[in-house]
Amino acid sequence: MTISKTLKAVALAVGISALISGGAVAELAKPTGAVILTIGGAVKYTNLPPSNKFDDRFLNTQGYSFEKAAAFDIAMLKKFGTVTTTIKAEPWPRAVTLEGPRLIDVLMAAGWTGNKITTVSLDGFAVEITAADLAAHDWILALKADGVPLRIGGHGPVWIAYSVPGGAGRAEDEGRWPWAVYYISAE
C-alpha cells in the first residue's frame, strides 16, 4: 500500500468512525448484535468497560485483559464497506475468496494509537503485526469466504489476511493469515 493509499485509508477510517458513533468520534456506538471482534489496549474510542475476570473469563485464560476496548458486531463491521481478495497456500485444495472490511479501517475507527497489534484466535494462536507490516500489505478482516459467512468451528468469526501477487501465498504468508480471530491486542 502506498503512502497516499495509507493516508486515504486513515482519512476514510476517521470519517467512518464518526459515522458509526453518530458524529461524535470520541466514542463508538454499542454493538446491538453478538460481538465477534474486540480490540483492546491502545485505542482511543471505546464501547466496553475494562475487562474483568468474571465477564471476560475466556480472554483471561489466554492471558489477555484490557482497560480500554472497542467491540464490534457484524453490522458495525459491514459499515466499513467490503473489499475482496483471493488467496491460496500450499497444501490448500483450492483458492479462497475473502470478503470484509480493511483491517486498517477498523483499527482507525477504534482509534488505534500503537505500533503493533497481536491477533488472537480462539485456540490461542497469536500473530503479531507491526505498523510497518500493516502499511506494507493490503490487509482484510474477512467475514466471508467464497460468499459464505465465516463460522465458529471453521475459519470464523474473523479471518485476517492480505493480498499477494497472483493470489498464491508462501508458507510464510499462510502463517501470518490467522483465522478464528476474536480479539486484537493493540499495543
Half-sphere exposure of 1 (CA within 13 A, CB side): 23
C-alpha cell, 93: 485444495
Give me the pLDDT at residue 4, please: 41
Give me the pLDDT at residue 2, please: 42
Give me the pLDDT at residue 26, please: 55
pLDDT tens figures, 11-53: 444 444 444 444 444 578 999 999 999 999 999 999 999 999 9
- For the domain made up of 3-186, the CATH class stated in words is alpha beta
Q: What does the domain layout of the chain look like in residue ranges?
A: 3-186
C-alpha cell, 91: 497444501
Can you give the chain as a three-state secondary structure string?
CCHHHHHHHHHHHHHHHHHHCCCCCCECCCCCCCEEEEEEECCCCECECCCCCCCCHHHHHCCCCCCCEEEEEHHHHHCCCCEEEEEEECCCCCCEEEEECEHHHHHHHCCCCCCEEEEEECCCCEEEEEHHHHHHCCEEEECEECCEECCCCCCCCEEEEECCHHHEECHHHHCCCCCCEEEEEEC
Of 32, 33, 57, 58, the closest CA to residue 120 belongs to 58
pLDDT beneath 50, residues of the chain: 1-25
C-alpha cell, 112: 488505534
Percent of the chain with pLDDT strictly greater than 90: 76
Give me the pLDDT at residue 168, please: 84
Q: Measured between alpha carbons, how far is 181 from 98 in angstroms, rounded to an integer?
A: 14
Give me the pLDDT at residue 122, please: 97
